[in-house]
Amino acid sequence: MRIGVLTSGGDAPGMNATIRAVVRAGIASGDRVFGIYDGYRGLIEGKIEEFTRKDVSEILSKGGTILGTARLPEFKYEQVRALAIKQLQKNDIEALVCIGGDGTYTGALRLHEMGIKTIGIPGTIDNDIASTDFTIGFSTALTTACEAIDKLRDTSSSHQRCSIIEVMGRHCEDLALYSGICCGAEYIITNNSGLDKEKLLSSLKNDRLAGRRHAIVVISENITDVYQLAKEVEVYSGYECRATILGYIQRGGTPTPEDRLLAARLGKYSIDLLHEGITGVAVGIVENKLHYTPIEEALTMVNEPNEELHKLVQKIS
Ligand code: F6P
């Protein structure tokens, strides 16, 4: 087979390890594998190059994506996708492995409907793809967030401050929930727990009156203006307060062993599925077993709140 591979949407650590696995597993199965640069944008522009095994050596531990990535909202238009099909036909590419999040999956689904064999691999730090237990990049972003929160605890405890830390996740709570638990945050605020500002302020005040020296509040992005919240905490709680937005630092860095392993497993699995004639699916890991779901279904699946972890937070925060 002649198989294309691309990365699209927000980059995630482990995308390179995934590209490497797709290229090497493909070549080992007798395929020819083509790297497509800059996501769907590069595809319509014909930025396509055949990869050898050597082309993907020494990228396993690198953050980012050697292919580059882009967001292309215009891909929703059929005439734009027709340009992609044209490029694929020109290069005789019959199958496409698309690494990214839900926007990437939507593009892959549309191409599948237009006759291209597609596979979606979950590559995003958000862990917001419900058809897999974990996405490639989440473990690394979680590690980065934890390192940062531990450091912020050092300084906030020295100064007897409250530290509000905003982590990424778009609309998924996992980065906040997991990092909050791993770092012993006093408060974890996510779209599922919600922000009850009055309750937070009065709890912080009571903590302070009871002699607590510092507090860590981990909050998901897109919930509130954390700088404003820090000002309100200062006014009402008795704590000095600082807000820190971790931001894009969470997207970079060398992937953790967990992300590398997931990348290797899902990359090879994608090639296996293509050889079995299974396409239009999103691959993932469910209870540590390889799993695939039709992309159409994967896109409608909803991330349920993790009740077990929420209960745990209530007991140990
Ligand atoms: O999807 C990954 C992510 O980093 C989200 O956590 C965040 O909301 C978004 O991408 C930021 O997107 P952009 O890179 O377009 O600013």
pLDDT of residue 232: 98
Question: What span, in angstroms and rounded, lies between the C-alpha atoms of 203 and 211?
Answer: 13
Determine the distance separating the centroid of ligand 1 and the alpha carbon of 176, expressed in angstroms.
Answer: 15
Residue 170 C-beta-side C-alpha neighbours within 13 Å: 14
The CB density around residue 310, as the number of other CB atoms within 10 Å, is 15
3-state DSSP assignment of residue 14: coil
pLDDT reading at 239 higher than 90: yes
Annotation says 126 is catalytic: yes
pLDDT of residue 317: 84
| HEC assignment per residue over 243-276 | EEECHHHHHCCCCCHHHHHHHHHHHHHHHHHHHH
Asked if 131 and 13 count as a contact pair (C-beta separation under 8 A), the reply is no
Closest atom of ligand 1 relative to the 125 alpha carbon: 2
Q: Alpha helix locations (H) across the chain?
A: 15-28, 39-45, 78-90, 102-113, 138-158, 174-182, 197-209, 226-237, 257-276, 295-300, 307-316
* Confidence grade of residue 13 (pLDDT, cut at 50, 70, 90): very high
pLDDT reading at 72 higher than 90: yes
pLDDT reading at 62 higher than 90: yes
Question: What span, in angstroms and rounded, lies between the C-alpha atoms of 151 and 145?
Answer: 10
Ligand 1 atom 5: residue of nearest CA: 170
Determine the distance separating the centroid of ligand 1 and the alpha carbon of 7, expressed in angstroms.
Answer: 14
For residue range 112-166, list pLDDT tens digits in order: 999 999 999 999 999 999 999 999 999 999 999 999 999 999 999 999 999 999 9
What is the percent of the chain where pLDDT is above 70?
100
Smallest CA-to-CA distance from 43 within 17, 72, 16, 14 is with: 72
Contacts of 4 (CB under 8 A, 6+ apart): 33, 34, 35, 36, 43, 48, 88, 91, 93, 95, 96, 97
Asked if 13 and 141 count as a contact pair (C-beta separation under 8 A), the reply is yes
3-state DSSP assignment of residue 163: strand
3-state DSSP assignment of residue 121: strand
pLDDT of residue 153: 97
What is the percent of the chain where pLDDT is above 90?
99
Domain annotation for the chain: domains and CATH numbers: 2-137+255-300 (3.40.50.450), 139-251 (3.40.50.460)
Place of tokens 């009055």: 198
Backbone angles phi, psi at 167, to 5 degrees: -110, 165
3-state DSSP assignment of residue 67: coil
Q: Which of 31, 38, 126, 207 is catalytic?
A: 126
Mean pLDDT of the chain: 97
Look up the pTM and report it: 0.97
97-103 average pLDDT score: 97
pLDDT reading at 22 higher than 90: yes
Ligand 1 contact via 208 beta carbon (within 6 Å): no
Ligand 1 contact via 173 beta carbon (within 6 Å): no
Determine the distance separating the centroid of ligand 1 and the alpha carbon of 217, expressed in angstroms.
Answer: 21
Ligand 1 contact via 122 beta carbon (within 6 Å): no
Where does residue 92 rank: exposed (0-12), middle (13-18), buried (19+ CB within 10 A)? exposed
Residue 93 C-beta-side C-alpha neighbours within 13 Å: 26
Question: What span, in angstroms and rounded, lies between the C-alpha atoms of 23 and 29?
Answer: 10
For residue range 154-203, list pLDDT tens digits in order: 999 999 999 999 999 999 999 999 999 999 999 999 999 999 999 999 99
